[in-house]
Amino acid sequence: MLSESAVEEVYRRISRAMPGRTKGAKGPKGQPDAFRSCISCMLSAQSLDRNTAAAAKALFALAHTPRTMLALSDERIAAAIKPCGLYNMKTRNIRRFCEALLAEHGGKVPSTREGLLSLPGIGRKCADIVMSFTFGADVIAVDTHVHRVCNRIGLTEAKTADRTAEQLEARSPAWALRDGHFWLIQLGKRICRARSPRCDVCPVSDLCEFYAARDQA
- Count Cβ atoms within 10 A of the Cβ of residue 163 and give its class: 0-12 exposed, 13-18 middle, 19 or more buried: middle
Select from 178, 143, 203 the least CA-distant residue to 20: 178
CA-based torsion, 90, 32, 21, 201: positive or negative: positive
Q: Residues 6 or more apart from 30 whose CB is under 8 A from it?
A: none
Residue closer to ligand SF4, measured from CB, 50 or 198: 198
Q: How far apart are CA 61 and CA 113, in angstroms?
A: 28
* 31 φ/ψ angles, rounded to the nearest 5 degrees: -80, 135
Residue closer to ligand SF4, measured from CB, 54 or 149: 149
Q: In angstroms, give the least distance from the CB of 7 to ligand SF4.
A: 13
Q: In angstroms, give the least distance from the CB of 67 to ligand SF4.
A: 46
Select from 211, 215, 192 the least CA-distant residue to 17: 192
Q: In angstroms, give the least distance from the CB of 128 to ligand SF4.
A: 22
**Catalytically annotated residue among 29, 125, 128, 179:** 125
Residue closer to ligand SF4, measured from CB, 23 or 195: 195
Q: In angstroms, give the least distance from the CB of 190 to ligand SF4.
A: 9
Interaction site with ligand SF4 (CB under 6 A): 149, 152-153, 191-192, 197-199, 202, 204-205, 208, 210-211
Assess whether 162 carries a catalytic annotation. Answer: no
Assess whether 125 carries a catalytic annotation. Answer: yes
Which residues belong to the active site? 125, 143
